[in-house]
Amino acid sequence: MKIAGQNFNFVDTLNSPITVPDCFVMRASKIGGGNGEAKLYIASKAVMYPFFGNEGFVAKCFLLKSDLLSYMNALHAEYLHPSQDYRGAAEMPRLWKERVAKIEKLPEVIEFNVKAQDQIDGNRGYVNSKDPGYEIIREISLPLVTYISIMQLTDSSGATLYYWKLFADFEAISDKRAALVYTYGKKGEKAPVPAPEPKVSSRQKEIRQARQGQGIYRDKLLSECPFCPITMINDERLLIASHIKPWAVATDSERIDPKNGFMLSPLYDKLFDRGLMTFTEDRRIVLSNWISPKNKERLGVKDGQFVQLLPLDEARQAYMQFHRSSVFKG
């Protein structure tokens, strides 16, 4: 595979993405107390050591500037309309501009090293670094909605490197926007009686239902796409109304637009929704390199596979441009 003009051999991916915790991010992006800490939990030591090396490892890693800019563009709506109570919530629009400007000044390949934190007792595996590349991850990550995938590669000399890539968890953002959180008082106090639910318009109800793939949105989408174009399954009970441009970053009109969706079988809905699969303009499947080769073989589809009945009219092509640039994990 070629990354930033250089050829690499794919070896493996870390078995699970790393959801960035609140304790790792910089102060302005935090939603809890404290000032943050530089160490990052990777996985259990039983998983981390075989992936990165033995105890005491120092792993050579890199980021791509283009990836960071795509990530920031994907999170633009979250900076403008935060779904969480960030400490710097009022400053988020300014922070987005400052962080993008800072990234634009970086080289295309941003190298850094991470070191195993063997001094920490227990089974949890951590890394740390003082390198600028690692610090930029801390600066631009948002707690619970940013996650990191790591790919193990070898270069032409046989040296091992680790490619880090940041992603936005649109599903987590959607959940936080829709959540109704109650905070109760001290022990022994009675929980407050919830106020009567405010009346909602039919349009608001339609938008809420669209997030769950239900209601008028689903009915309209089914009328245009009555089956999964990959599997040809047409049993409505086995189909999911998948948004192309995620609900979390779509406008209200886009959320209920049937052109912003496909009907897909559950496996392919999950792949598409998580950005692990997308479609080209000429209806061909593209699978993410962040899926291991073995798992790709198990999916039942292949890179470049032509999906003849995929409904890709002009309106859906416009939504697909966003999916390919900001959702798909290429």
Co-location of 170 and 31 in the same domain: yes
Co-location of 164 and 49 in the same domain: yes
Co-location of 44 and 93 in the same domain: yes
Co-location of 8 and 139 in the same domain: yes
* pLDDT value of residue 326: 87
The 8 Å CB, 24+ separation contacts for 118-125 are: 118/55, 118/56, 120/39, 123/44, 123/45, 123/46, 124/41, 124/44, 124/45, 125/41, 125/42, 125/43, 125/44, 125/45, 125/47, 125/48, 125/49
Co-location of 111 and 223 in the same domain: no
pLDDT band (50, 70, 90) for residue 208? low
In a domain, 209, yes or no: yes
- Give the whole-angstrom CA distance, residue 185 versus residue 191: 7
Co-location of 246 and 208 in the same domain: yes
Q: What is the pLDDT of residues 91-123, one digit of tens each?
A: 999 999 999 999 999 999 999 999 999 999 999
Amino acid (1-letter code) at residue 187: K
Q: What is the pLDDT of residues 222-237, one digit of tens each?
A: 999 999 999 999 999 9
Co-location of 208 and 109 in the same domain: no
Co-location of 137 and 22 in the same domain: yes
Co-location of 233 and 166 in the same domain: no
Co-location of 145 and 219 in the same domain: no
What's the structural domain count of the chain? 2
In a domain, 66, yes or no: yes
In a domain, 189, yes or no: no
In a domain, 192, yes or no: no
In a domain, 35, yes or no: yes
Q: What is the pLDDT of residues 31-55, one digit of tens each?
A: 987 666 899 999 999 999 999 998 9
In a domain, 188, yes or no: no
In a domain, 69, yes or no: yes
Choose one of 178, 194, 212: the last residue of a domain: 178
* pLDDT value of residue 18: 93
Beta carbons within 8 Å of 167's beta carbon, 6+ residues apart: 17, 71, 74, 146, 147, 148, 149, 275, 329
- 152 contacts 11 by C-beta, under 8 angstroms: yes
User: Where in the sequence is the domain holding 261, given as residue range(s)?
Assistant: 202-327
Q: DSSP code of 324? A: I
Backbone angles phi, psi at 324, to 5 degrees: -65, -35
* pLDDT value of residue 244: 95
Residue 74 has pLDDT above 90, yes or no: no
Beta carbons within 8 Å of 310's beta carbon, 6+ residues apart: 229, 262, 279, 283
Average pLDDT over the chain, rounded to whole?
87
Co-location of 28 and 69 in the same domain: yes
- 297 contacts 303 by C-beta, under 8 angstroms: no
Backbone angles phi, psi at 103, to 5 degrees: -65, -40
* pLDDT value of residue 190: 42
